[in-house]
Amino acid sequence: MTLLPLPAFSDNYIWMLHDTHHAIVVDPGDAAPVLQALGSMGLSLQAILVTHHHSDHVGGVDALREATGAAVYGPAAETMPQPVTRLAGGSVVSALGLRFVVLDVPGHTAGHIAYYCAHADGGPLLFCGDTLFSGGCGRIFEGTPAQMQVSLDALAALPGDTRVCCAHEYTLSNLKFARAVEPDNAALQEYTAHCESLRQAGQPTLPSSIATERAINPFLRTRQATVAQAALGADASVNPQEPASVLAALRQWKNEYR
Ligand code: ZN
Ligand code: FE
């Protein structure tokens, strides 16, 4: 099984998984890079998995369905290109001989879902859309900080070797903010150097891993005293004992951070 991030637009990745015959893709905002990859590798598209309704994630769905006949799966609670098989937490999608369990991860959008495969060769796989990024998380457009905290807690509880397949290459700018939150986090310094060298070589920083994110991502570290204190420094109304309150302040600080 081969996992590929297909670059799209300025900073999206459309994740493709294939077994040299069949493929699945996640969040095809654009059909062109997917059709190009299918053609050049002689793959047939079996399924399209969608995490949420934003156009940079669904824009290529209709064209791909028409061109390939692939089945489309998406969140139960969001507007989706039709026809679609609707999924919610606990739903299972079988594709490429793998079993993907659906997790409800509201916050970025109200009905955002993620796909988790516990038994893929090379380790567990997580397709998390715009909920969790390496070093950061999605903007809270439709949900609440409390919902986002619960969603991120669920992802952080996955096995440490889970490969985290995020939908955007935002890592370096997220890490810059993370260093402002935790200037003394040694793992964060090391990971930053690693990601900078990947980007200099034109490589994606993804997939990341859950173990890495637990060590370096401030949005998964809202229970750490260092992170809570930094959030309190940014917003005096923060309750440092309350992870969702810390998360809300971090998210607001990040929105304004340059
Ligand atoms: Zn989005
Ligand atoms: Fe997006």
- The per-residue b/e assignment along 136-152, b for 16 or more CB within 10 angstroms, e otherwise, is bbbebebbebbbbbbbb
- Distance in angstroms (rounded) separating the CA atoms of residues 140 and 110: 9
Alpha-carbon torsion angle 69, 4, 130, 50, nearest 10: 10
Q: Of 168, 113, 107, whose CA–CA distance to 140 is shortest?
A: 107
Looking at beta carbons, which pairs linking 230-237 to residues 24 or more positions away fall under 8 Å?
230/180, 230/181, 230/182, 231/181
User: Is 22 among the catalytic positions?
Assistant: no
Q: Per the structure block, which two tokens stand in for 182?
A: 């935790």
Q: What is the CATH number of the domain that holds 207?
A: 3.60.15.10
Contacts of 190 (CB under 8 A, 6+ apart): none
> What is the chain's pLDDT, residue by residue, as a tens digit (258 residues)?
999 999 999 999 999 999 999 999 999 999 999 999 999 999 999 999 999 999 999 999 999 999 999 999 999 999 999 999 999 999 999 999 999 999 999 999 999 999 999 999 999 999 999 999 999 999 999 999 999 999 999 999 999 999 999 999 999 999 999 999 999 999 999 999 999 999 999 999 999 999 999 999 999 999 999 999 999 999 999 999 999 999 999 999 999 998
Distances (CA, A) of 210 to 7, 49, 134, 172: 22, 21, 9, 17
Q: Where are the alpha helices (DSSP H) in the chain?
A: 32-41, 55-58, 61-68, 145-156, 171-181, 186-200, 210-216, 225-234, 243-256
User: Is 57 among the catalytic positions?
Assistant: yes
**Residue 200 is part of which domain span?**
2-256
On the CB side of 215, CA atoms within 13 Å amount to: 15
CA of 32 to the centre of ligand 2 (A): 17
- Residue 155, φ and ψ in degrees, nearest 5: -70, -40
CA of 55 to the centre of ligand 1 (A): 8
Strands (DSSP E) found in 1-158:
2-8, 12-18, 22-26, 44-49, 71-75, 85-87, 92-95, 98-104, 113-117, 125-129, 132-133, 136-137
Q: Per the structure block, which two tokens stand in for 165?
A: 């397949």
Res 258: pLDDT: 86
User: Is 121 among the catalytic positions?
Assistant: no
154 touches 116 (CB < 8 A): no
Q: Which of 18, 56, 104, 112 is catalytic?
A: 56
Res 217: pLDDT: 99
How many structural domains is the chain composed of? 1
CA of 101 to the centre of ligand 2 (A): 21
User: Is 53 among the catalytic positions?
Assistant: no
14 touches 38 (CB < 8 A): no
CA of 108 to the centre of ligand 1 (A): 7
- Distance in angstroms (rounded) separating the CA atoms of residues 50 and 143: 18
CA of 93 to the centre of ligand 2 (A): 22
User: Is 62 among the catalytic positions?
Assistant: no
User: Is 56 among the catalytic positions?
Assistant: yes
- Distance in angstroms (rounded) separating the CA atoms of residues 23 and 45: 5
User: Is 11 among the catalytic positions?
Assistant: no
213 touches 222 (CB < 8 A): no
Q: Which of 18, 54, 104, 112 is catalytic?
A: 54
